[in-house]
Amino acid sequence: MAAGAAEATAGASPRSRDTLEAIRERGELRWGADPFGGAPYVFQDPMDPNHLVGYEVELAAAIAHRLGVEARPAEGAWDKLLDLLARGDFDVALNGIEVADEKRRVCLLSRPYYAAGERLTVRRGDPGAPRRLESLAGRRVGTLPGSLAQRILERAGAVVLTYDGGQNDIYDDLRLGRTDAVLLDEPIARYYGDVQPELETLPGAFGEVRYAVAIRHGDEALKAAVDQAIGALARDGTLRRLYQRWGLWNRETAALLGDGGPSPAGTAEAYESWRAAVGRAPSLRDRLTQRYPRTFWLFARGAALTLVLSLASMALAATLGAAIAWARRYGPRPLRWLAVVYVEFVRGTPLLVQLIMIYFGLPELGVRLDPFAAGWLALGLNYAAAEAENYRAGLESVPAAQSEAAATLGLSRWQTMRHVIAPQAVRVAIPPMTNDLIALLKDSSLVSIVTLTELTKTYSNLAGSMRDHLGLGLVVAAWYLVIGLPLARAGRAVEARLGRHLRRAVT
Amino acid sequence: MIRVQALEKRHPGAPDATLRGVSFHVPAGRLAAILGSSGAGKSTLLRCLVGLEIFDGGSIEIDGVEARAEDGPRASALLRGRVGLVPQSLDLFPHLSALENCALAPRVARREPRAAAEARASRLLAGLGLSQRLDAYPEQLSGGQRQRVAIARALAMEPRVLLYDEPTSALDPSLKDEVRRTLLTVGESGVTQLVATHDAGFARSAASWVLVLEEGRIARQGEPDSVLAGPR
């Protein structure tokens, strides 16, 4: 009894010693970040998308090194990082997480490792562009959701447009005239605004943002160790060198780290290579012969996950759907009623909501599923409702006289179902099932929110880091067709086989 | 042999009983016809005999096995498999070939080996002139061929009694004669047959005993000539 209670407590909020000890034991610091969060934080190398790069990748490695372990990135959507941290999907979150009071309510924050101003970017040569905080009132300004910039803009009375899709979209919309300005953290402005010749980032900052490492509540020892590591890295100049390489060294960070020299020294080689990579799109020839072939294994991995997840989910949906259809047509009244409620509830609510409930909601009840299991369960439970309806339509398409004919021949109800009703019903249910399988293949892209990098997520990651949405869009479309068409073909083959009796013989 | 005594059947919600004390007897191996206009209760009578309906009163005896109304659903279960039925709409299994239609029930309900079930099925089909169409699906057969498959399917369970519901409806005279000859062929095996029909001409030419059902009761019965020569 007492042991059980102690275990439950430990499970609900792992004590700090446990996490720090666990890190040291496994020799690995698992740090959460969003590879789609973009440069210069954590992103796929545009020259070689199989690698994650970014100043925070190097920072995580340096902190891990100080703790005497290796760093291993774990992927998650940026706005879900703190939820995933709380779930225990990784040890810390390190991805441009701003120091703010409302964050302290859900997690511990380390001492800040970087500081920067909020910078305003406008169209170059736009005479009506807002240039001061006061002139932002009533203007359309883009930024990231939940950021300090958003709060500044709202206070200034601007019409704020927030983007979940990534930094490219924010600056592209400004360039295309859909917004009047963009306010974002200096690193983002530098990597996405400054690289576009049509845009200019105004001098002067509108407030200061600081980034810190997020740590679970209760992990005080881990926080102390991380704080100590950051302090040591600041003292020995590692951080300064790191930020200079990425072109990020600034006055704010110099003050934050207590480093006397605000002006950067040395060349920002990482920044320059980023500029070179995204400055102009490579020719179609280069893309076809070099860039796209290099994405092969990333896409293949994503496609394999999409396919395996879809097939496994369909198997669950088909089994559960058959049980529901049976209950609805032949079950006793309470079961019939339950089946109707299930179908209507699942069909009437968005799959996204169900997925979030299963992945982020169930842990509140002590059920913690890994991402694949959660995605499989959500897709399977969701599509079970659709399959149940398919089977019901199939069962209802078989005339009652068929059951009576079987009964007069002495077949039991089960034998009638197995040999007479089901074969005829399945033939009717196969075309919509094939359709659902293809739909499921596409719906499986939703599982990217639970950190699974399937095909669509692979595409959006790559398109973001290579700034090539159209070309890679065609590439990912081809991948979907490559895995989808054989499934459609298989469905037609099964249908034809079950429909043999409908081929009229030439007599 | 069929012996029906005081059979009663009332459909829930209907104002009058459909069968109101039906009694008759068909000796073993006979071919009898039940004549009656539509709504007289012929189909209900057949459904009771074959075990598809639970009847409310009376009893049905098939070759010494008696099903009584008091037995409720067990009475129906008792009749199933002993009594075969060729429904008006035939209700062949569309996804199975002629041979599979006939072999399914012996194979599944009686657990006969597939080879034995199919051998008897093909013998039965051949006996009804279908040896060339064993592998055809119902959709690929003519109306007359389908009817013979339905008969063979019922016979495959070796019933003591075989019932037909309107076997000649919508058939032209030459085909009616084909049905008559088929029934006579089946009769040679000793099966008791009961044909529900509203076609007096067919009843006279095929049956050796005729029952006339009117308003849920047997109004007359006897040799075809005596029953059908009287006032119509």
Which of B84, B93, B138 shows the shortest C-beta gap to A420?
Answer: B93
Q: Which amino acid, one-letter code, is at B148?
A: R
CA angle A246, A247, A249 (to 5 degrees): 105
pLDDT value at position A501? Answer: 73
Of A402, A404, A503, Cβ closest to residue B93? A402
CA distance B33 to B163: 10
pLDDT score, position A17: 55
pLDDT value, residue B12: 86
B196 contact A CB<8A: no
CA distance B140 to chain A (A): 5
- pLDDT attached to residue A334: 94
**Quick check: A467 pLDDT over 90?**
no
ipTM of the complex: 0.91
Q: At residue A419, does pLDDT exceed 60?
A: yes
Give the nearest partner residue to B95 out of A407, A423, A503, using CB atoms.
A423
The pLDDT score that the predictor gives to residue A64 is 94
Least Cα separation, residue A495 to chain B (angstroms):
12
Q: Which H or E element spans position A384? A: helix A371-397
Q: What angle do CA A302, A306, A307 make, to 5 degrees?
A: 120
Q: Is the pLDDT of residue A243 over 50?
A: yes
- Report the interhelical angle of A469-498 vs A455-466 (nearest 10°): 160
Check residue B68 and give left, alpha or beta (phi > 0: left; psi -120 to 50: alpha): beta
pLDDT the model gives residue A2 = 38
Q: What is the mean pLDDT of residues B156-168?
A: 92
* Least confident among A123-127, B29-33, B38-42, B61-65: B38-42
Interchain pair B138, A415: CB under 8 A: no
What digits encode the pLDDT tens for the residues A12-68?
444 445 888 899 999 999 999 988 778 899 988 877 777 889 999 999 999 999 999
CB–CB contact A399 B91 (8 Å): yes
Per-residue exposure over B57-95, b if at least 16 CB sit within 10 Å of its own CB, e if not: bbbbebeeeebbbeeeeebbebbbbbbbbbbbebbbbbb
pLDDT at position A11, please? 41
Mean pLDDT of A136-145: 92
Q: Quote the pLDDT of residue A264.
A: 65
pLDDT tens per residue, range B87-124: 999 999 999 999 999 999 999 999 999 999 999 999 99
Q: Which of B89, B95, B96 is the best mutation test for A, with the most CBs of A within 10 A?
A: B95
Q: Where are the beta strands (DSSP E) in A124-224?
A: 140-143, 159-162, 181-185, 199-201, 208-211, 214-215
Angle (nearest 5°) at CA B33 between B160 and B56: 70
- Which residues of chain B from 104 to 143 reach within 8 Å of chain A, CB to CB? 104-105, 108-110, 136-140
Chain A residue with CA closest to B150: the answer is A405
pTM of the model: 0.70
- Cβ(B141)–Cβ(B133) under 8 Å? yes
Predicted confidence at residue A195, as pLDDT, reads 84
Contact A152, A118 (CB under 8 A): yes
The pLDDT, as a whole number, for residue A268 is 81
Structure tokens at B223: 């040799």
User: Which of B 155-194 lie inside 8 A of A, CB atoms?
Assistant: 157
Average pLDDT, chain A: 87
Q: What integer is the mean pLDDT of A143-153? A: 89
Question: Cβ contacts of residue A91 below 8 Å, gap of 6+?
Answer: A19, A22, A23, A29, A30, A31, A215, A222
pLDDT of residue B66: 92
Chain A residues touching residue B92 (CB < 8 angstroms) = 405
Measured between CA atoms, the residue of chain B closest to residue A499 is: B95
pLDDT at A77 over 90: no
Per-residue pLDDT of B163-188, as tens digits, reads 999 998 867 788 888 888 889 888 88
The pLDDT-based confidence of A440 (bands split at 50, 70, 90) is very high
Q: Which of A401, A410, A427 sits opposite B109 (nearest CB)?
A: A410
Instruction: Pinpoint the alpha helices (H) of chain B.
Output: 42-50, 73-79, 98-108, 114-127, 143-155, 173-187, 200-206, 224-229
The amino acid sitting at A360 is: F
What pLDDT shows up at residue A275? 79
Can you count the helices (H) and strands (E) in chain A?
23, 13
- pLDDT value for A167: 81
Residues of chain B found within 8 Å of residue A407, distances taken between Cβ atoms: 51-52, 80
User: Is a pLDDT exceeding 50 seen at residue B80?
Assistant: yes
pLDDT at position A291, please? Answer: 81
Cα distance from B92 to chain A (closest Cα, Å)? 8
**Digit-coded pLDDT (tens) for B29-56:** 999 999 988 888 898 999 999 999 999 9
Q: Which residues of A touch B96 (CB under 8 A)?
A: 501
User: What pLDDT is attached to residue A39?
Assistant: 85
How many CB atoms within 10 Å of residue A241? 15
pLDDT category of residue A147 using cuts at 50, 70 and 90: confident
